[in-house]
Amino acid sequence: MEGGGVGDAYGEDRATEEQLITPWAFSVASGYTLLRDPRHNKGLAFSEAERDAHYLRGLLPPALASQELQEKKLMHNLRQYERPLHRYIAMMDLQERNERLFYKLLIDNVEELLPVVYTPTVGEACQKYGSIYRRPQGLYISLKDKGKILEVLKNWPERSIQVIVVTDGERILGLGDLGCQGMGIPVGKLSLYTALGGVRPSACLPITIDVGTNNEALLNDDFYIGLRQRRATGEEYHELVEEFMAAVKQNYGEKVLTQFEDFANHNAFDLLEKYRESHLVFNDDIQGTASVVLAGLLAALKVVGGTLADHTYLFLGLASRLPRPDDLVKYAESCMYTPTYRSYR
């Protein structure tokens, strides 16, 4: 696959028929441990030579199955599920056992699977996260970790992190406060960074900051996986976030991107304003939504003519994100009348 896809997403060369082992597997574990490593496991796609080189003889059925054949089988199986949540669970299970095949499946079938691994299905997955929880995905930082967040970050096995998507779970999509169960959002969003943006999975880190929840149903749910306490606010909340942001910069450097995801309105704007000058931060709900709205308007001007100032706009359904698209349109209107804008137009 040229110009994108799994090969580009990992930034690694493919093996040739003459190579005994694939280039990406020089230093990985062998034998049964290799089959349990989702980053390097290829399932039945291991060649005869690879099975000998990695001590896989007898650990796999004798048949060989290319990634394409495995993809065909998995898509067939996924389509047997009537409920999207069951498809989501199957995709997450695949990601945990064969990461390369997961991304090949997602990239090759993005229109069909995007609504499965992210919205809208991820919303139901977050609501039921405690019930469907199997293996930990991402990093959990809670109030219990105050004073040692840097140590927690160092527990993550990857060191060259480029993108962090972090949530505190207070405003998950349109579903409200889901607390620690909001982890499905950073996990899903970063799978899109890889499948659509080409960022290596090993460079992505999903994080949930657990400061409690005000969701009574979750607090009384035996299967809830987060702190069973009311949500921390004020100084206690901001001190934890401040320690987290400092630890991120110390551990991963100044160039790591931290994306604030699904924070409640009363914190989202404040956090973006506080850290935008000192850290590389981004809020998709605020900046991303506004940018897409503005891009659509600018594209429409090529059809209807005129300038932004010539038209009237109705913003509907943007909820807490309403002010920012409006502000950005006003800002763009002012820029369109400057010499700088005209020179770059």
Which residue numbers belong to the known binding site? 171, 261-262, 285
Distance of alpha carbon 56 from alpha carbon 1, whole angstroms: 27
Residue 120: helix, strand or coil by DSSP?
A: coil
**Could you tell me which residues come within 8 angstroms of residue 329 by beta carbon, excluding any fewer than 6 positions away?**
293, 294, 297, 308, 313
In a 13 Å sphere around the CA of 148, the CA atoms on its Cβ side amount to: 8
Distance set, CA 164 to CA 70, 155, 190, 204, 286 (Å): 31, 15, 8, 6, 17
Distance of alpha carbon 191 from alpha carbon 199, whole angstroms: 9
One DSSP character per residue, 210-227 reads E-----HHHHT-TT--S-
**Catalytic pick among 10, 88, 103, 118:** 118
Angle formed by the axes of helices 323-335 and 289-304, to 10°?
50
Specify whether 189 is catalytic.
yes
Distance of alpha carbon 181 from alpha carbon 226, whole angstroms: 7
Annotated binding site for (S)-malate: 171
Query: What counts of helices (H) and strands (E) characterise the chain?
Result: 17, 5
DSSP state of 155: T
Distance of alpha carbon 141 from alpha carbon 207, whole angstroms: 7
Annotated binding site for a divalent metal cation: 261-262, 285
Q: Which segments of 72-191 are extended strands (E)?
A: 139-142, 163-167
Specify whether 330 is catalytic.
no
Tokens of 261: 């995801």
In a 13 Å sphere around the CA of 95, the CA atoms on its Cβ side amount to: 23
In a 13 Å sphere around the CA of 271, the CA atoms on its Cβ side amount to: 32
Distance of alpha carbon 164 from alpha carbon 149, whole angstroms: 15
Q: Please identify which residue in the block is written with the tokens 């930034």.
A: 11
Tokens of 289: 């939504």
Distance of alpha carbon 58 from alpha carbon 66, whole angstroms: 18
**Catalytic pick among 189, 224, 237, 275:** 189
Catalytic residues: 118, 189
